[in-house]
Structure 1
Amino acid sequence: MKILFVSNLYPPNQVGGYEELCWTVASHLHADHGHEIAVLTSASGGRVADWPGQRVHQSLRLLTGRTVYDAFDGPPARRETIKAQNRAALQSAIQRTAPDVIFCWNLYGLDLSFYEALGRADPPVVVMLTDNWLASMIDPEAVGAFFRTVVNGSARQEDFAARGAVRQQQAAQVSAIFGAKFMKDFYSACGVTFARDEVIHNGVQLPAASTPRSYDRIADGATVRLLFAGRLVDIKGAHTAVEALLRLRSKRPGIDWRLSLVGDARDTAYLMRLRGIASEGGCLDRIDFRSPVAPEVLPDLFASHDMYVFPSLYEPFSLTLIHALASGIPTLASRVGGNVEIIRDGDTGLLFEKGDADGLTAAILRLVDTDGLINRLSTRGVAAAREFSRERMIAAMDAHLRDRVRRRT
């Protein structure tokens, strides 16, 4: 089977986990399932993609600024020219590769006309929805309402229903794979539905064997090393971890509390905010700011820390959270999005409310004060991580793609 992947970014040009996941799926669909792989992407980032068994075409142009974080600032005529060039690049890629199916991952930085051109293409199209990119194209007002009322407000995500959302079922030849049930519910609430869709939880490469940790009771004089790993941007909630650190030092001064913040720090305004919170609380010297690490380095990172905190305000489905469970590190996550599909509160980890530094502090102290809880969470977390293997995910995606091609013929 010939598969054309379409993605705004593709390794080695990447800024987050979805690009790495896209590359992983493409690589294994070729190596393990025998499919021919072509990729249509942009050259944003400036590095040339050259992967064994893949034909990568970097002919798309993103409607962004100097980086993908910057807004496009060109004149309207230039915008229209780029949009037309991207549609032409899509048609050219389809003609050159003659795919049996198109697997579309993320079109952020492109536009709705490009997605609509996909819907008119001859091969069936499968969209991989791990975040809100398509909903933002179709009905940005609905997505904006969600972020105002749920992510940055007090409304519950399960009660969210966008007012005035476009009730639009996508073209019959377009099906969806959702990386989490949360994403399926989110799209439905925003009025974007599909004749065929499926939830396939994202997965990671798990270690061949994981050994749960065995902890002694934490006492005064001990050093407790907390870890956050993710982009240092507001929506990932690292500020909640910093605020919790201040509270922990006040409530349990006999313990030497430390916090590592590991992630992309290109959002300099947010980085200054984090440093400001820490400086005002007198704990800047207790925080270690580190650069992102590759997935294969994560086990060593987790092994050098005592607890993993994941305080996102919005989180479709975190691969790093799965890596944390697999490592055996006791894990605490905000009760949002796909986190609740990974963590079972009190069983495989602890959940707290988003943005609630007091709640995170209480959860950490619960781990410290409850005999046997750390060891129980470690043991059950390791077992739960096996549900989210890379092999299971790719096999399910392969079956979905084959089904789409079979239905077409």
Structure 2
Amino acid sequence: MRVLMLSWEYPPVVVGGLGRHVHALATQLAAQGHDVVVLCRQPSGTDAITHPTVDVVSEGVRLVRVAEDPAHFVFEKDLLAWTLAMGHAMTRAGLALDSWRPDVVHAHDWLVAHPAVALAEAFGVPLVATIHATEAGRHSGWLSHPLNQQVHSVEWWLANRADSLITCSSAMRGEVAHLFEVDTADVSVLHNGIEPGGWKVRAKDVGAARRTYSPHGDPLLLFFGRIEWEKGIQDLIAALPRIRRVHRGTRVVVAGGGSQTEWLQDQARKHRVLRAVEFVGHLSDRSLAALLTAADAVVLPSRYEPFGIVALEAAAAGTPLVASTAGGLGEVVLDGVTGLSFAPGDVDGLTRAVRDVLSDPASAASRARAAKARLVSDFNWATIATDTASVYAKALVREPRVLGRPKIATGNLFT
């Protein structure tokens, strides 16, 4: 099939797990013989002079990385205007693909809704949309500000306009059906995947990471991902004093970037563990892999998590997992089998789980081996790509529907 995929991030422009997802899916589809074109963007804050549009073939995928238009829109300050401008540029690039025409258009999340809808209609082909997360989910069901409501309405439009929907977990399928008033039978669940071999690290790099982050040989915990409230890092910080009472000297490394770093540092100061929590920012893949392997446990205390691809990466590195049951994490981490789990926001449960891992490293290592073995059977990108192609093949252009604006609840959308 000829597949036109749209994503607002694609390596090396990566904000979170979505970029890695789209890259892996696109390259696997190409490896299976499909003709894949990905429309993505240049880094924000650039323009057509510094970063012109490029049209290249990379890893079997035709990659059209679209330049930003001249307007002074800033992602952090003008999110909707910036997104619409990006969509306009993507639409023009999609219409300029010479004589190439897709059999299906695949949109990844709300930021590419406008160009995806426009191009699917222009080419007269089915629109498939993967909803990776929701605005209501990220804000615990509250749409308190105009921007939250605007994003939610675009998500609702994409979900109702698409000819076929995909989510990365059963939890997300239920969330999407509830929030956007679609039938769960119309939503396919296709998990994220991983290439396990990419996380092998040299022993000397692991040793160097251990000496850097735990120079005195104390227990080492790792969180990596976006530094945002919904990731629950504040719960790990709150649990750390109790963990350290039993396992003296335990340290936490927080890797990644986001808007809550300063607030979390204040939380560490409040709980008197600031010197035991190290914020290291974004790490290279090589450095992250070494730190992952060096850690005694990866802790993922998410309050909201559509899937949790970082759990797969921890499993690939063979590191014991402690994770909340938020959203897709409850499907990725099987409590007592491939890791230890606790309810989102349950600081006592988090404390007990981490203490158990550190007190019984043999059992923790056994669960880590089970998690790694499960990657091959349940989270294989080749299988996921095949299943995605099946969704494409079954998708049919629906009769045109006139959609009005969705009603925005004044209370909590989940209660």
TM norm structure 2: 0.75
Residue 303 (structure 1) aligned with residue 293 (structure 2): yes
Is the 8 Å Cα contact of residues 163 and 395 (structure 2) preserved in structure 1?
no
Give the superposition deviation at 1:107.
3.3
CA distance in 1, matches of 2:159, 2:267: 45
Is the 8 Å Cα contact of residues 326 and 382 (structure 1) preserved in structure 2?
yes
Give 1:230's match in structure 2, choosing from 203, 225, 236: 225
Give the superposition deviation at 1:371.
7.9
Give 2:319's match in structure 1, choosing from 329, 333, 353: 329
Give the superposition deviation at 1:312.
1.0
Give 1:384's match in structure 2, choosing from 364, 374, 393: 374
Map of 2:206 onto structure 1: none
Structure 2 counterpart of 1:106, which letter?
D
Map of 1:29 onto structure 2: 29
Report the CA distance shift for 1:60/1:294 in structure 2 as closer, same or farther (over 3 A).
same
> After the TM superposition, which of the residue ranges 8-17 and 312-321 deviates more from structure 2?
8-17
Give the superposition deviation at 1:344.
1.0
Give 1:71's match in structure 2, choosing from 55, 69, 78: 78
Report the CA distance shift for 1:388/1:151 in structure 2 as closer, same or farther (over 3 A).
farther
Residue 400 (structure 1) aligned with residue 402 (structure 2): no
Give the superposition deviation at 1:319.
1.3
Report the CA distance shift for 1:290/1:209 in structure 2 as closer, same or farther (over 3 A).
closer
Is the 8 Å Cα contact of residues 40 and 90 (structure 2) preserved in structure 1?
no
Map of 1:256 onto structure 2: 249
Give the superposition deviation at 1:349.
0.9
Give the superposition deviation at 1:56.
0.4
Number of residue pairs matched by the alignment: 363
Give the superposition deviation at 1:229.
0.6
Map of 2:38 onto structure 1: 39
Give the superposition deviation at 1:309.
0.2
Give the superposition deviation at 1:370.
5.1
Give the superposition deviation at 1:403.
3.9
Report the CA distance shift for 1:124/1:375 in structure 2 as closer, same or farther (over 3 A).
same
Map of 2:13 onto structure 1: 13
Give the fraction of aligned pairs with identical amino acids, expressed as a percent: 24
Is the 8 Å Cα contact of residues 169 and 190 (structure 2) preserved in structure 1?
yes
Give the superposition deviation at 1:72.
4.1
Q: Secondary structure at the match of 1:193?
A: coil
Q: Secondary structure at the match of 1:364?
A: helix
Q: Secondary structure at the match of 1:329?
A: coil
Structure 1 counterpart of 2:139, which letter?
F
Map of 1:189 onto structure 2: 178
Is the 8 Å Cα contact of residues 244 and 360 (structure 1) preserved in structure 2?
yes
Give 2:236's match in structure 1, choosing from 231, 236, 241: 241
Counting only pairs closer than 5 Å after superposition, residues 267-278 of structure 1 correspond to structure 2 as 267=259, 270-278=260-268
Give the superposition deviation at 1:10.
2.8
Residue 104 (structure 1) aligned with residue 104 (structure 2): no
Report the CA distance shift for 1:203/1:64 in structure 2 as closer, same or farther (over 3 A).
farther
Report the CA distance shift for 1:64/1:225 in structure 2 as closer, same or farther (over 3 A).
farther
Structure 1's unaligned 5+ residue stretches are: 137-142, 153-161, 212-220
Structure 1 counterpart of 2:329, which letter?
N
Map of 2:209 onto structure 1: none
Give the superposition deviation at 1:248.
1.8
Q: CA RMSD in A?
A: 3.8
Q: Secondary structure at the match of 1:384?
A: helix
Structure 1 counterpart of 2:237, which letter?
V
